[in-house]
Amino acid sequence: MIRSVNITKDAYYQMLRYVLKYANPDKAYRQWREVIGWLIGKVNGDSITVLQAIPMTSGSSIFVQIADYTILPKIAEEAEKHGAIIVGWFHSHPSFGFFLSGIDIRTQRYQQSLFENAIALVCDPTKVSETEPGIHGYQVNMEQTLGNDYRELTVHVSIDEPYPKVLKTLLLEAGITRSFAEVIAYEELAGLFALEGIAPPISPSLKGASLLPAEREAVPEIIASYIIRDSLEYNKEGYLQVKISNVGEG
Ligand SMILES: [Zn+2]
Residue 199 Cα to ligand 1 midpoint, Å, equals: 31
The fold for domain 4-177+220-249 equals Cytidine Deaminase; domain 2 (3.40.140)
Ligand 1 centroid to Cα of residue 34, in Å, is 8
Kindly tell me the number of DSSP H helices and DSSP E strands found in the chain: 6, 11
Q: How far is the CA of 196 from the centre of ligand 1 (A)?
A: 32
Cα 219 to ligand 1 centroid, rounded to whole Å: 17
CA distances, 174 to each of 26, 166, 185, 197, 217 (Å): 10, 13, 22, 36, 28
pLDDT value at residue 188: 73
Q: Name the packing angle between helices 163-173 and 9-22 (round to 10°).
A: 50
Banded pLDDT at 27 (limits 50, 70, 90): confident
Q: Which of 134, 216, 211, 117 is nearest to 168 (CA)?
A: 134
Distances (CA, A) of 10 to 32, 88, 177, 240: 24, 16, 23, 12
Among the residue ranges 61-65, 78-82, 110-114, 223-227, the one predicted with the least confidence is 223-227
Q: How far is the CA of 200 from the centre of ligand 1 (A)?
A: 30
As a three-state string, the secondary structure of 182-194 is HHHHHHHHHHHHH
In the beta sheet, which residues pair with residue 35?
A: 58
Predicted pLDDT at 144: 64
Helices (H), the chain: 9-22, 72-80, 102-114, 163-173, 180-195, 213-218
Q: What is the pLDDT of residues 231-245, one digit of tens each?
A: 344 555 444 454 443
Cα–ligand 1 centroid distance for 75 (angstroms): 22
Q: How far apart are CA 110 and CA 142, in angstroms?
A: 10
Please give the backbone phi and psi of residue 222, each rounded to the nearest 5 degrees, phi first: -110, 130
Question: What's the confidence (pLDDT) of residue 59?
Answer: 63
Stronger pLDDT, 164 or 79, i.e. the higher one: 164
pLDDT tens per residue across span 124-179: 999 999 999 999 999 999 876 665 589 999 999 999 999 999 999 999 999 999 89
Average pLDDT on 88-92 reads 93
**What confidence score (pLDDT) does residue 248 get?**
38
Distance 97 CA to ligand 1 centre (A): 9
Q: How close is the Cα of 198 to the center of ligand 1, in Å?
A: 33
Q: What pLDDT does residue 50 have?
A: 97
Q: How far is the CA of 202 from the centre of ligand 1 (A)?
A: 31
Length of the chain equals 250
Contacts of residue 213, defined as CB under 8 A and 6 or more positions apart, other chains included, come to 187, 190, 191, 194
- Ion ligand 1 residues within 5 Å by Cβ: 101, 104
pLDDT of residue 163: 97
Residues 98, 124: contact at Cβ < 8 Å?
Answer: yes
CA-CA distances (angstroms) from residue 30 to 126, 177, 242? 15, 19, 26
Average pLDDT over residues 3-7: 98
Segment among 98-107, 141-150, 192-201 with least mean pLDDT? 192-201
pLDDT, greater one: 5 or 149: 5
DSSP state of 203: P
Show me where the domains of the chain are located. 4-177+220-249, 178-219
Least confident of 16-20, 57-61, 217-221: 217-221
To the nearest whole percent, how much of the chain has pLDDT over 70? Answer: 70
**93 alpha carbon to ligand 1 midpoint, in Å?**
6
Give residue 52's pLDDT. 92
Q: What is the average pLDDT score of the chain?
A: 78
| Distance from the alpha carbon of residue 241 to the mean position of ligand 1, in angstroms | 21
Whole-number Å distance, alpha carbon 22 to ligand 1 midpoint, is 15
**pLDDT value of residue 67:** 59
